[in-house]
DNA sequence: TTGTACGCGTTATCAT
DNA sequence: ATGATAACGCGTACAA
């Protein structure tokens, strides 16, 4: 059995209250007693039981992080940044990867809720469904603690959204490409989440505003189940055999865009002379591929920073805006030449 | 205040014991009572308090995952795989990113220990220090619960190591390159962890066994603080201005190798005709860069699978080997031509 | 400065 | 099938 505060108090010849005071630095302990107790604790390697502790306390200075897949490049970075910010402010992080199943998600959310976290951060927009019924679990959670959304938006009391305007960003990216003289663009996407659909709308609006005819509409949905660059390349190849019927590729994600690069290289065409390519997220992949990838920077660092700022204020009882929107920026590299 | 089991028992007109039985499916509850209680629970959105629960119970079916940086490609994948395996076996994961500071690490380990996890998995070899004193916190933890090491090795009761033989793998990779006619190789590494040093030793042994003169020894340590492919490229450039004094690059990590690719392309040399390159980890990056990267596959999936298998057996009280070693495999792609 | 005693929410053991 | 009650380990009023 693990050693308890009671054991320590006995060995040290003091009461449990005194031991508790020593541990929690509550003051009012004589230096001699303090040292004695500290030594015993050290000697026996005593570690207070977090559950017993959590019972009485109100806040455990813990925040739950929920994401679908922590191995996804974008998510991994978001999680890392959030964790660092939280740690810097004295909060622990509890990370759960739920996958994409809605039921698993609800269970995880309840699980994390039962641990008396001070707040829950939902990383990515997969958590917001299109029907009110499916979002009920979020509303229920918000009854208990503030729910923070990273890169998603949901209007409800005690739910705070911090996001990048993916609609506008994608609109701008697509417009840039069209206005550089490329009307026939392949749009690649792999997620129908809140933000995934926003991007798509932004792309379509750019086509419309620039009077691109319907016949040039070329949109491909890649179901992410398989994964792997080779898969993506093969997928594009399959959908467009022979000479590609487009001169530009815009993808909702850098990984997809790299698939586009690989595809283009296989056809023997040149980038960006024959085909221009734009990715999304401005991840490390943009620097790994050749040529380096033009991509939309959705300012993840600014988002995470702002989100934690909002959270801390909310926990402190301050009134804060329910929704904060940043704007992304197109970072030009070698897969495009817009000048 | 959150709603408790006591509230539910009152509303339902039964005792807390009955409510508990309903929740935990312990049987011996009449269908009528069960339904009544279930309805009330549903109505009030009651969620049992995990801390109160944790007090009495022995196991919470939770495993702690400790890693340095969850945004690292290799780590992110490892964490994901472990989490999936654990979830499939009814265990939850508690993930903590400690960064590279040893003190933060100890604190996190104690923290996680205080939460009565059934085991702790240390992801990556950064956790094993070179001095016995620094490893004391691991030995202490092992007194309480089994400690699992992924890709590290430490000999101590109740510590189980599952790893890839990085020494042999790197030896093989380097030997292949040397025997293909490339004696002058630049070795790039960015970690002096247990496994980082093993790889280095393997490389050096390959040089020695193939009678490569000291004058061709070319080993570069890149301090990972900065990060970023451009940084790495610039670093190599800085260390080797003008025409590179080598015809091969071997890196301890795919990211570094991609830096090598970019560097080579900047010098105008061809890959693999002028310079051959080998990475390590066989990550998704191998498919993203051009040309695609030859890399050592350290069989992460096999490792995580075996690790969880061992863990489950140990928790079930079975006797298991303290150390399981897999061997890696060189996956040839377009940055080398060894035939 | 130190100790006593109770409460925290749940599970498990024993009666009934 | 159900209820009363004793743990579980800790923090903290309150008392001394």
A69 touches chain B (CB under 8 A): yes
- Tell me which chain A residues have a C-beta less than 8 angstroms from the C-beta of B140: 45
Q: Are residues B212 and B105 in the same domain?
A: no
Specify the number of domains making up chain B: 3
Tokens of A339: 């000048």
Task: Assess whether A123 and A235 both reside in one domain.
Answer: no
Convert B150-171 to b/e letters by CB count within 10 Å (16 or more is b): bbbbbeeeebbbbbbbbbebbb
pLDDT tens digits for range A292-306? 999 999 999 999 999
- CB contact under 8 Å between A115 and B288, yes or no, is no
Please give the helix or strand (H or E) that residue A272 lies within, else none. Answer: none
Residues A136 and A199 in one domain: no
- The model's pLDDT over B175-192, given as tens digits with 9 standing for 90+, comes to 999 999 999 999 999 999
Of A54, A80, A258, the CB nearest to B71: A80
pTM equals: 0.89
Within-domain flag for A214: yes
Kindly report the CATH number assigned to the domain that includes residue A315. 3.40.50.2300
Instruction: Flag if A80 and B70 touch (Cβ within 8 Å).
Output: yes
Contact A174, A199 (CB under 8 A): no
pLDDT of A217-274, one tens digit each?
Answer: 899 999 876 678 999 999 999 888 767 789 999 999 999 999 999 999 999 999 999 9
Hey, are the CB atoms on A70 and B83 less than 8 Å from each other? yes
> Å between B54 CA and D8 C1'?
8
* 3 state DSSP class of A195: helix
Q: Are residues B290 and B305 in the same domain?
A: no
Interatomic separation, CA of residue B17 and C1' of nucleotide C15, rounded (Å)? 13
The pLDDT of residue A225 is 62
Question: Would you tell me which residues have their CB within 7 A of strand D?
Answer: A 1-2, 4-6, 16-17, 20-21, 23-24, 26, 46, 48-49, 52-53, 55-57; B 13-18, 21, 27-30, 32-34, 52, 55-56
CATH number at residue B29: 1.10.260.40
| Token pair in block for residue B127 | 């956790």
B111 pLDDT above the threshold of 90: no
Q: Is A28 helix (H, G, I), strand (E, B) or coil?
A: coil
pLDDT digits (tens, 9 = 90+) for A91-112: 888 888 888 888 888 888 888 8
Interface test with A, best of B43, B73, B114, B144 (most A CBs within 10 A): B114
Q: Is A83 within 8 Å of chain B by CB?
A: yes
Pairing status of strand B185-189 against strand B248-251: parallel
Same domain, A236 and A312: no
| Domain identity same for A244 and A278 | yes
Give residues with Cβ within 8 angstroms of B196, minimum separation 6.
Answer: B125, B189, B190, B252
B75: nearest CA in chain A? A71
Q: Would the CB atoms of B50 and A48 count as touching at under 8 Å?
A: no
pLDDT in tens, B218-272: 999 998 766 789 999 999 998 887 677 899 999 999 999 999 999 999 999 999 9
Let me know: does B98 contact B128? Beta carbons within 8 Å. Answer: no
The 10s digit of each residue's pLDDT in A168-204 is 999 999 999 999 999 999 999 999 988 999 999 999 9
Q: Which pLDDT band, with edges at 50, 70 and 90, does A86 fall under?
A: very high
The fraction of chain A above a pLDDT of 70, given in percent, is: 98
Three-state DSSP class for A220? strand
B105 and B51 within one domain: no
Tokens of residue B338, six digits = 């060894």
Q: 10 Å Cβ neighbour count for A25?
A: 8
> Taking CB atoms and an 8 Å cutoff, what residues of chain B touch A279?
none
Q: Give the list of residues 6+ apart from residue A34 with CB closer than 8 angstroms, or none.
A: A22
Domain assignment present for B80: yes
Contacts of B92 in chain A (CB under 8 A): 96, 111
For residue A234, give both structure tokens.
Answer: 């093969």
Residues of A in contact with B53 (CB under 8 A): 51, 114
CA(A74)–C1'(C7) in Å? 45
Judgement on whether residues B291 and B231 belong to the same structural domain of the protein: yes
Q: Check CB contact under 8 Å for A228 and B287.
A: yes
> What are phi and psi for residue B276, nearest 5 degrees?
-100, 150
Are B171 and B293 within one domain? Answer: yes
Instruction: Select the highest-mean-pLDDT range: A214-223, B89-98, B196-205.
Output: B196-205
Average pLDDT over residues A102-125: 87
pLDDT score for B90: 85
Which pLDDT value is given to residue A58? Answer: 67
Query: Within a domain: residue B335?
Result: no
Range of the domain at B249: 166-298
Protein-strand C interface by C-beta, 7 A? A 13-18, 21, 27-30, 32-34, 52, 55-56; B 1-2, 4-6, 16-17, 19-20, 23-24, 26, 48-49, 52-53, 55-57
In-domain check, residue A334: no
- Confidence at residue A275, expressed as pLDDT on a 0 to 100 scale: 97
Please indicate, yes or no, whether residues A233 and A309 belong to a single structural domain of this protein. Answer: no
Same domain? For A189 and A221 the reply is yes
Q: What is the pLDDT of residue B138?
A: 93
CA to C1' distance (Å), from B81 to D7: 39
Over range B75-88, report the average pLDDT: 92
Question: Is B144 near chain A, with CB under 8 Å?
Answer: yes
Q: Do B102 and B129 form a contact (C-beta atoms < 8 A)?
A: yes
- For residues B240 and B125, state if they share a domain: no
**Strand C bases within 7 angstroms of protein beta carbons:** 1-5, 7-13
| DSSP class of A327 | -
User: Is B336 among the domain residues?
Assistant: no
| Residue B241: inside a domain | yes
3-class secondary structure per residue, B1-54: CCCCHHHHHHHHCCCHHHHHHHHHCCCCCCHHHHHHHHHHHHHHCCCCCHHHHH
Residue B222 in domain: yes
Choose from B60, B268, B289, B300 for mutation: most chain A CBs within 10 A: B289
């Amino acid at each position: 059995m693990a050693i308890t505060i009671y054991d320590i108090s006995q060995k040290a010849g003091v009461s449990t209250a005194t031991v508790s005071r020593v541990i929690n630095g509550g003051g009012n302990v004589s230096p001699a007693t303090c040292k004695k107790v500290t030594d015993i604790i050290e000697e026996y390697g005593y570690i207070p039981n977090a559950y017993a502790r959590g019972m009485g306390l109100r806040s455990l200075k813990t925040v739950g992080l929920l994401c679908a897949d922590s191995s996804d490049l974008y998510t991994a970075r978001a999680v890392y940044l959030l964790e660092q910010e939280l740690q810097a402010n004295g909060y622990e992080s509890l990370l759960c990867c739920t996958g994409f199943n809605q039921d698993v998600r609800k269970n995880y959310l309840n699980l994390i809720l039962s641990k008396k976290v001070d707040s829950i951060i939902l990383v990515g927009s997969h958590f917001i469904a299109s029907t009110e019924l499916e979002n009920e679990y979020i509303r229920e959670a918000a009854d208990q603690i503030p729910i923070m959304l990273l890169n998603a938006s949901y209007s409800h009391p005690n739910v705070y959204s911090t996001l990048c305007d993916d609609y506008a960003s994608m609109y701008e990216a697509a417009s840039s490409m069209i206005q550089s003289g490329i009307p026939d663009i392949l749009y690649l996407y792999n997620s129908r989440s809140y933000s995934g659909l926003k991007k798509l709308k932004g792309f379509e609006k750019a086509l419309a505003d620039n009077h691109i005819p319907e016949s040039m509409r070329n949109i491909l949905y890649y179901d992410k189940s398989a994964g792997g660059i080779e898969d993506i390349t093969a997928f594009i190849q399959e959908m467009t055999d022979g000479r590609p019927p487009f001169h530009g590729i815009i993808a909702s994600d850098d990984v997809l865009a790299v698939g586009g690069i690989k595809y283009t290289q296989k056809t023997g065409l040149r980038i960006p002379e024959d085909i221009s390519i734009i990715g999304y997220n401005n991840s490390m992949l943009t620097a790994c591929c050749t040529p380096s990838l033009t991509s939309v920077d959705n300012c993840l660092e600014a988002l995470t920073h702002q989100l934690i700022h909002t959270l801390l204020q909310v926990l402190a009882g301050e009134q804060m805006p329910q929704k904060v929107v940043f704007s992304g920026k197109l970072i030009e590299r070698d897969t495009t030449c817009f000048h």
